[in-house]
Amino acid sequence: MSERTRLLPTQNPQERAILVGVERKRPRRRSTFTLSESMAELARLAETAGLEVVGEITQHLDRPHPATLIGKGKLQELKLLVEATGANVVIFDEELSPRQQRELEEFLGEEIKVLDRTALILDIFAQRAQTKEGVLQVELAQYIYRLPRLTRAWTHLARQAGGAAGRGGIGGVGLRGPGETQLEVDRREIKKRIAQLRKELEEVRAHRELYRKRRKEAEIPVVSLVGYTNAGKSTLLNALTDSQVYADDKLFATLDPTTRRVVLPGGQEILVTDTVGFIQKLPTQLVAAFRATLEEIREADVLIHVVDITHSAAHSQIATVNHVLRELKADHIPVVMALNKIDLIPPEQRDARVREFPGGVPISAAQKWGLEELLSRVEEALQERLVPVRVHIPYERNDLVVLFHRTGIVEDERFTEQGTWLRGRVPAHVASRLDAYRVSGMVSPIEAQEARS
């Protein structure tokens, strides 16, 4: 990969940003994204945060410089580019160590904010969080990230942010969210706040666990929407449920999980949950802080993996989502792949593009194309988890008959003097509740009588 420096036109934005990317000979974590794809995504993140990208520098490294990540020559080039463009923010695509951040700030000058991809994503999350749970989770992640970076260099920025906040402002990219006026407090106070946030989030987690328990008792299957950020999950939820969940053509447009009821073609009712989008190099602070939310994925019966089929890096995005699912220990859950935004591909190219994703269902959430087929595939995936049963349920336990109809597939139903005879398939946990009423043998007494006559 050749090194390059590129100057982009400016439009006098409030905050101008220079992007810095490196390609390592031995990267810290494997990625299927190329350097150019990762930098393009970083530019989208910067724009989502409200920045104007005015320049870009990349470098191939055998090994990163321990103090500044990039080499001395490239560092000098960066400083000249900052001066030429009037940029006041520099964003690295790699996570910077506290030492690297301090050294870069000292070299570039205290008026230049130095951020990395993690800080940028945390900033976007701070903008997007709406519910109390979301705000708590982002605040915790930001404090954990900022604690080792709490130096006098941050004090200058904290005063700026505090002043902006006091005037109703937001303090600029990298300074939103927690501690805009608290970055000057000592580490002990911040650690106390982290402990408090963790306690509050454990209460949230307990509340979610209680909610999940009640949901399980209702015996309604749960389907979670997962996918790379901006793949169209919220738009799909709206299309499936005729609801108005916030959706926008932005990275991380929604953070807080939303659940809606959906009826499958066969009449079975399910709950569909929208979840936070994934992204490559997902900060570990976010994975830890969003534990309560991400556990929703692990509890799903089926996952709908929403893929933006128009994206040039779609295969890399799929690999990233699969990697995160493995980290969450959710890779054992059945997956139905929804190839979204098929309407944006020219008709003559659609078949060839779909063939690149074996087993995927082409859909357009925006146009509501292919949704019936998608729900049919979800129905099939749920049915594959059902077990066959034959039961004779007394009339006084008609609640179990209702449960059979609501959660399973009834293949035959007969009525006797003593109760209801049912043959079909139900989830394993429902089958265990019907054990006392199972009918032995291959046929029921009614079927045997019909055969004799």
Chain segment 41-89, per-residue pLDDT in tens: 999 999 989 999 999 999 998 888 899 999 999 999 999 999 999 999 9
Half-sphere exposure at residue 450, Cβ-oriented, CA atoms within 13 angstroms: 6
Residue 9 confidence (pLDDT) above 60: no
What confidence tier does 359 reach under pLDDT thresholds 50, 70, 90? Answer: very high
pLDDT (0 to 100) of residue 220: 81
Residue 283 confidence (pLDDT) above 80: no
Residue 174 confidence (pLDDT) above 60: yes
Q: Which residues contact 268 (CB under 8 A, 6 or more apart)?
A: 221, 379, 382, 406, 407
Residue 168 confidence (pLDDT) above 70: no
Which range has highest mean pLDDT (48-52, 166-170, 272-276, 342-346)?
342-346
H/E segment holding residue 113: strand 113-116
pLDDT (0 to 100) of residue 57: 95
H/E segment holding residue 270: strand 269-274
> Of the given ranges (27-36, 67-76, 201-210, 262-271), which has the lowest mean pLDDT?
27-36
pLDDT (0 to 100) of residue 128: 77
* Residue range 386-452 in CATH 3.40.50: no
Residue 416 confidence (pLDDT) above 70: yes
Chain segment 309-320, per-residue pLDDT in tens: 999 999 999 999
What confidence tier does 40 reach under pLDDT thresholds 50, 70, 90? Answer: very high
Residues of the chain with CATH 3.40.50.300: 220-383
CATH of domain 220-383: 3.40.50.300
379/449: higher pLDDT: 379
Residue 158 confidence (pLDDT) above 70: no
What confidence tier does 394 reach under pLDDT thresholds 50, 70, 90? Answer: very high
- In the chain, the amino acid numbered 155 is T
Residue 35 confidence (pLDDT) above 60: yes
> Of the given ranges (79-88, 109-118, 174-183, 342-351), which has the lowest mean pLDDT?
174-183
Hey, what's the torsion of the CAs at 6, 9, 11, 12, to 10 degrees? 50
pLDDT (0 to 100) of residue 28: 60
pLDDT (0 to 100) of residue 248: 53
388/172: higher pLDDT: 388
Residue 337 confidence (pLDDT) above 90: yes
> Of the given ranges (6-20, 50-64, 214-228), which has the lowest mean pLDDT?
6-20
Residue 443 confidence (pLDDT) above 70: no
Residue 48: Cβ-neighbour burial (10 angstroms; 0-12, 13-18, 19+): buried
| Cβ 161 vs Cβ 190: under 8 Å | no
CATH of domain 4-122: 3.40.50.11060
pLDDT (0 to 100) of residue 31: 67
Residue 150 confidence (pLDDT) above 50: yes
Length of the chain equals 453
pLDDT (0 to 100) of residue 373: 96
Residue 201 CA: distances (Å) to CA of 215, 296, 428 = 21, 15, 32
Helix %, strand %, coil % of the chain (to 5): 45, 20, 35
pLDDT (0 to 100) of residue 426: 87
H/E segment holding residue 42: helix 35-48
Instruction: Centre a 10 Å sphere on the Cβ of residue 431 and count the other Cβ atoms it contains.
Output: 19
> Of the given ranges (142-156, 331-345, 422-436), which has the lowest mean pLDDT?
142-156
d(CA 122, CA 118): 6
pLDDT (0 to 100) of residue 3: 58
- Percent of the chain at pLDDT > 90 equals 41
pLDDT (0 to 100) of residue 214: 73
What average pLDDT does the structure give for the chain? 82
